[in-house]
Structure 1
Amino acid sequence: MFRLRTLCLRQGAAALAVLLLYAPRVHAQFGLGGKSAPDTAPTAVSSASPRAAVQDFLKLADAGDWAGAADYLNVPAAERERAPVLARRLKSVIDQRLALDVRDLSPLTSGDTLDGDAAGDRMAVVMSGDGHEEPVRLVRVNGPPVRWVFSQATVGRVDAWFEALGSPWLRERLPNTLMREGPFNVYWWQWIGLGIAVPVLVLLAWLLGALLRSLLGRIARRTVNEWDDVLLENLRGPFRLWSAALAATPLLALLELNPRVDGFLSSATRGLWLIALFWGILRIIRIVQTNLQNAAWETGQAAQARTLVPLMGNFLRVTLAIIAMLVALAQFGYPVGTLLAGLGIGGIAVALAAQKTVEHLFGSVSLAADKAFRVGDWVRAGTTEGEVQRIGLRSTSFRTIDRTVVRVPNGRLADERIETFGERDRILLRTDIDITYATTPEQLEEIRDALEAALRAHPLVWPDAVRVHVVAFTDSAIRLNVVSWFKTTDWNEFLRIRHEMLLQFVRIVRDKGSSFAFPSRTIYHVSQPGMTAPPVDG
């Protein structure tokens, strides 16, 4: 029960997302909001044009003035008394069978002279039961006044078209109340059918998803790899949503909805299918990212995986989002090709506005390609020094020695001088030892040899570069310079080694009979004959 409720919530959220995405289309099709901008410059509509005639007919019909609407029908004299009934039936046919946009009709008094119908205007066609196209035509009455009305042939087919509406089998068995039109020109029995279809759709999605997972699970259990089992488990949600979209098509076909509502719900069904597709791809990206990180951990390349794998995962997600947006726009009916071509013209302004963002994006790609540093490295970049915490698409985060987090844009970071301490193969020990001038040359030689021997005796010293030399005579000391490397990349271990070596240097200097110098100054006082000391105040 809990799984079923979770599935309902997920699919309800997905359906809500589709409805929100398709809101512009709902407004355009059902007139729920503002008017959409026309594709071309507006043309003056003549009051004696086919467009004005159909608009007036629909306005009167919506107001329930069937006698007034009947004036726009060319009714034979024998059918004059049934004119209001025919007008009402024609309105139902238009609502249920025609996806009519009155803006497509001619606004001129002469009508459309290029449609090949010299005697009138073809407004639309209705498919008959045997698959033939039966035109819905308007003809001009020269008056006075000049006006357009539905042709006599069209009026003669209204009864047959009306009898074919809304499933004749149901029409014979359902009460008249359910055969009336409700919101959006949908019959009440169809609204009830939609209400029943939702839980049926959820149940079918659950059953189809379970059946599909069961079949794929049998195949996955026969393989030695575990990634296919993980993939199958993570694709449970996309499978169910895809199953819902698959089952929705035949259910909607049973209801025989009018073209506008059916077109919207068909678009929503395709939207569910696309959401399931992109949702599944996102899950696959996450699984691949996790597997790559685990494999890198087992092979000892975890630091590099922590740097590159999340960066590539984010890049793939952004790319997928762009593709999903383009597909969604195509579903809305927007010309994606024209949009992309328009971006070439407006791309200059977009590039100028987003140049910093693009710069940081390419900076992250450059840092990843050069492998300048990895997550966990201690880095000095410009004035920033710290441990690399995260490398994102826009910026890189450093944890400083003060435990603060500094974020540096990747575009600027790519231009900085980057010093990576994590790339060291050994750590340098360099220090100056100042000995007093009372030390003899022989003692200096013994001290130098003892210091070098102590360094070479350490198990982690780099033997190819151990240097101890007298390098200067300062104001108060003889200076020995000590340089050596130790084969470790662990800074804490190096601190321990340096501590031990410096204490050993102190013992060597003391044992050789010398001492460390400290800043001092010697003043020689010379008294000349005949000079007396100045009196001292007591």
Structure 2
Amino acid sequence: MILRAKRFLPYLLLLLTLVLSANKVSAQLLGSAKTTTEEPAKIPEDSLGRRTPQGTVNGFIKAIGEQNYLRASQYFVLSKRSYRKTAERIRIAKTFQQLLDQGGNLSPSSIISNKETGRTDDDLATGVDLVGNISDNKTTIQLYVENQADDSQPAVWLFSAETVEAILSADITGEKTFLDRVLPKALKERKIGNVPIGHWAVVVLMTIVSYLLSRLLIFAIGFVIQKVWKKADTEKGTAIINALSLPVHMYLTVILFVAFTQRMGISIVVRQRFSIIIITIGIVAFLILLWRMTDFVSMYARSRMSRRGRISAISAILFLSRTTKAAIVFIGIIAILGIIGVDVTAGLAALGIGGIALALGAQKTIENFVGSVSLIADQPLRVGDYCRVDDIKGTVESIGMRSTTLRTSARTIVTIPNGQLSASKIENFAHRDRFIFNPIFSFRMETTPDQMRYLLVELRTLLYSHPAVLNSPPVVRFTGITADALKVEITAYIEAVTFEISQEVQEDLLLRMMDIIEASGTSLAYPSQTLYMARDTRLSDEKSAAVSETVKKWKENNELQLPKFDPKRVEELKGSIKYPDDGSYNPSPDGKLNL
């Protein structure tokens, strides 16, 4: 039995060795896995909140408000000698508070940087921020906070050694603030929020005084403006004064309040708490100013467009006014939230993404709005204009923010999106300053040269004489001989206000030209493609002989007005034709031509 046990002993030892080795390897693997997932050590929070410039200023104000000057001294860069002396540390903190109460200012908490790196957009060195100043009749002390840690250590912001040295060198012996001299002892000893009750009472009193005094100043300024500015009593002047009165009143109240509280020696604790309210009032006053100026500009633009008859522009002005007001409200909310300490970065990022999505979804709407703005600005067409857009002809009935409507000659309504309209070719017939008159006459092949000369001269004489034909030299030219006719082309411009009047003038010209053609003894040719089944009228020999005699006299007297008209003769002919002719209806009571 013993021999059998000895035989299995080496196998048992080998099995035990393998089990121990496995446990060791497993422990090593588990240990290595643990080290790879181990998180870096978290930087501990500073118990005094000195990781940022804002935390340092807020912590210091809280400490002196609780009159814990020993804790307040921990926000200063002190020498080792001063740090060891508790009395010295307390004296520095009290001196700093007294200087701030007498004439010091700290930047509002929301304006001071809340980042460990501090402000990087100023002209100061990296790790140094300006957080306020102390002013008296002699000097001005700039208050700096400085990061005392290097890149490998967490940030610790303290009032710099330069600031502490300036505070210690300031002479405040025997100086008391105005409130310390006038307030009764009871109002100074009793406190609310670690601030003497008398200071709170003076703050309320100064608020009322600042409001009433600013109101009096506004009244005086308004009286001076009424005397100096001549347009102050007009509608425009009254609107401007009303738009500026409330914002200026609010600004003056804030300025007077800050000046009074600083000069009287109100505790820096109270003033620092009120700083956010003061900045908020300033922002609200600026927003009210923008709102009222938007109303004024909108009212002025709408009245001006109404006087000019540009009714379509009023809707665009109203839309832009409402959009501007919405932007003012949005910016105001963001600014006020930022002032009271709310982080709006994430909200702005979300709004930016939402705005992009909204813009993509409303792409066509935005395109139509931009198109309507360009139509109103460029004015290629107006309500009542007859125009052609691509292959559509019609009269413009309305120009809206999304589309423009045209009424065609078939009395149908065509609606065109403004985005498409602004990119189309628009031909506006209503803006023509003249109307072309361009008939082409085809005379019979039997027309003699003298008859052609007579026609050219008389047709030009008619155009020069007619008062409705523009003074620019008309063109009457014998342009060619075709297989079936002699071509004469006329080009002139009719001066008329509307298309209907130009049609009336064109009708009169054509009738008079028919008379000239009849008097010449020739006639218009019929197209060779047309089979004219009628007895041919023989040309008048008498009229032909008379025309030849007339042309002969022109030549003998050097009066043939070909190829050019004599300028003196042109001046004689201008306006010599009576239009409308005798017997025609003329709506003008004085008998003058209404073109």
TM above 0.5, yes or no, is no
TM-score (normalizing by structure 1): 0.45
* Bigger Rg, structure 1 or 2: 2
TM-score (normalizing by structure 2): 0.41
